[in-house]
A and B are shown apart, each in its own frame.
Chain A
Amino acid sequence: MRLECRNIQFCYPDTITPILEDLSLVLDEPGLHGLFGPSGVGKTSLAKILAGTFQPASGQILAEGLQNIFYCHNLERLPGWSSVGRHLERITPPDNVALKDALIHQFGLSACLHRRFGKLSLGQRNRVNLARYLVQDLQMLIMDESLANVDESTRSTILMTIKETFPRACFIYISHNVVEVARYCNQIWVLRGPGKHPQAVRIQGLDAHVTTSANPHTLEKAMLEMMNA
C-alpha cells in the first residue's frame, strides 16, 4: 500500500488564506501512524481530503492498494432508535461477526450492548463508534480524536488491539496526546502552520508493541522532536 499527497492546497469556502499549502507526505507501510499538530493547523481538513470528503484546490492524492479509506471522529453518533448491540449486528458484514465479538470484548463494550447510544458515557460512545468502523472491510482508517474521553489504560489496550488485529491495514491516528502518539505510532507526520515549509514534517515514533517496552530516552526524543517541529 502507498498513500501520497503531492503539493496539496486547500482553503475553506469564503476564505482567502489557505489552511494547507503545498503539503506533501507519503505513507508507504501499514500500521499505526500519527498526525500531530496544534489545533487549527489543518489535521481534520487533511484527513477529510484523504477520505475524499473534501476536494483540494490543487495537488494530487495518489492511493495504491487502498480502496476503502474511512474517516471517523469523536463527535459521531449512532441512531437512537435501536440498542448499540442491534446496530452493531446490522452494520457488521457477515464475514466479520467473529471480529465484532472480539472487538466488543477487547474494547470493554459487553455491558453496554443492550443500551441505546444516548445513554452511554462519552468514552463508551467513542469506543462503540470506533468498533463499528473497525468491523468494516477497510484498508485505511483515519481516527480523529476517536479515543477522546477514554481512560489511558483502555486507550492503550485499544491501540494495541488495533495494531495486532489489523497488521495489514493502515491507521492514521489524530490526537493531541503527545506521549501516546510518540509511543504507539510508527511514522508521525507533524503539521505546521501555513507559511512554513515543508508544512508536514515526518518524525519516527516508537511503534510500541505488547512485547516491547518503550525506551524512556527514545520516547522523550520523539516527543521533543514532535513539539519542536
Chain B
Amino acid sequence: MLRRIYQFLMIYLLGVAVLLAVKYGLGLSDYVIPGPALILKTSQAEIGRYATDVTDTLAVAVVGQLLAIVLALMVGITGRRTSWIGSFVKVAAYNIQAYPIVALAPIIFILLGDGFVSRLLIAAMICYFPLLLSVLGIMSEPVDDIEHFYRQTGRMRWQLEVKIRAFENLSKLTTVVAGSATLAMAGTIVAEFIAANDGIGYSIRIALYQSDLAKILAALFAIGITISIYQGLLEYGGRLCQKAWTGRSPDE
C-alpha cells in the first residue's frame, strides 16, 4: 500500500512541478496558476472538507464496484458457455463495451435525478464492462489439463468448472478487481462532475466555476491518496485470498 502512496506522491509532485515551471517560464499570474504558497494555504483550508467529499465519493465507488463485480461474475459465468446464450452474451458485451458509457450519463440524470442512485449507476456501469470482458475471457477458456479428469469421469458441474477457472486465474482476477477500483472512482467523479450535488466531483465543479486551480490541486491530492489506499487494500486482500486458497504467497 505504501508503494502505491509513494508512487502517487511522486507523480503528483512531478505534475505540480511542471505546472510551476510553466507558470514561472511563461510569467503567468497567480490567477491562472497559483504559486506554491497559495497552493499550500488553500490545501490547508480545504483538505478537511475535501477529505469528507472524497470519502463520500469513495463510498459510492465501492458500492458501485461491488455491484459491477457481482454482475460481471453472473454474466461472465453465463457467457462462458458455448451455447447460443453464451455466444449472445459475449457478442453483446464486446459491442456494448465499445460504446463510451459515460456519454449515457445525462440520460441517467434525466431519468433518475442527481442523487445517490445516479452516481452509483454510472460508477457501476463504467467499471462493469472492462470487468465483464476479463471475467468472460477467463471463464470461457477451458483449463483442459485439470478439467479433463472431471469430464472423463462425469463429475464436471458448472460450479466446479467456474471454481477451476477462477482458481487458475486468481492473480489475473485480483489484478482486474483492483484495477477496476480506479474506473469506479472515475465513474463516480464524472457523474458528480456532470450533475450531482455531492462528492469530490461536485467540489471540483465548483472550483472550476471559480477558476481556482489551487482548490482543484488540493482535491486531486485528496483523490489520489484515497484511491492509492483503497487500491492498496484491495491488492492486499487479493494476496491474502490467494495465499489462503493456493497455500502459497503470490510472490513465490
Chain A interface residues (CB < 8 Å from chain B) = 51, 70-73, 75-81, 91, 116, 129, 132-133, 136
Contacts and interface: CB of A to CB of B under 8 A. Distances in A.
A77 B167 contact: no
A77 B152 contact: no
Contacts of A133: 149, 152-153
B152 A51 contact: yes
Please report whether the interface of chain B is mostly helix, strand, loop or mixed according to DSSP.
Answer: helix
Interface of B: 145-146, 148-149, 152-153, 155, 163-164, 167, 245-247
Contact of B145 (A70, A71, A75): A75
Please report whether the interface of chain A is mostly helix, strand, loop or mixed according to DSSP.
Answer: mixed
B246 A80 contact: yes
Contacts of B145: 75-77
Nearest to B148: A76
Given A75-B145, A116-B247, A80 B167 contact: yes
A71 B153 CA distance: 10
B151 to A, nearest CB: 8
A51 B164 CA distance: 23
A78 B146 contact: yes
A78 B152 CA distance: 14
23 contacts: A51-B152, A70-B153, A71-B152, A72-B148, A76-B145, A76-B146, A76-B148, A76-B149, A77-B145, A78-B146, A79-B146, A79-B163, A79-B164, A79-B167, A80-B167, A80-B246, A80-B247, A81-B163, A91-B149, A91-B153, A91-B155, A133-B152, A136-B153
A133 B247 CA distance: 25
B177 to A, nearest CB: 19
A122 to B, nearest CB: 13
Given A76-B146, A77-B146, A129-B149, 20 more contacts: A51-B152, A70-B153, A71-B152, A72-B148, A73-B148, A75-B145, A76-B145, A76-B148, A76-B149, A77-B145, A78-B149, A79-B146, A79-B167, A81-B246, A91-B155, A116-B247, A132-B149, A133-B149, A133-B152, A133-B153
Contacts of A78: 146, 149
